[in-house]
Amino acid sequence: MEHRPIAQLEAALDHVCASPIGDGRLELIVSRPSNATREVLEVAELDTELGLIGDNWSTRPSKQTVDRSPHPLKQLNIMNARAAAAIAGDIADWPLAGDQL
């Protein structure tokens, strides 16, 4: 995937900033079973201990914990869909961002 030109990103900025606050819908769920793979899910299960079931978060080391265990406050990554569209373009490329929701 190629990087978008700055002018194209700047042109999308007003649309991204006009995103609803406190209201919206989930556009995509992506699991990372391994660091090199992304899996788009129709339905997902969230667990307070494991995060997104099927995602490798619970086995991936973190640089932000003393013992390099998974950071308990970083189970999920959420990205604004308008920002994802501005950066990645087609929804088929959104999973490359690495964000789950």
Domain boundaries, the chain: 6-19+28-97
Residue 98, pLDDT above cutoff 80: no
Average pLDDT, stretch 11-18?
A: 96
Residue 2, pLDDT above cutoff 80: no
Average pLDDT, stretch 43-57?
A: 92
Alpha-carbon distance of 67 to 65, in angstroms, equals: 6
Give me the amino acid identity at 93: D
Residue 101, pLDDT above cutoff 70: yes
Question: Beta strands 51-52 and 46-47: pairing type?
Answer: antiparallel
pTM over 0.75: yes
Residue 1, pLDDT above cutoff 70: no
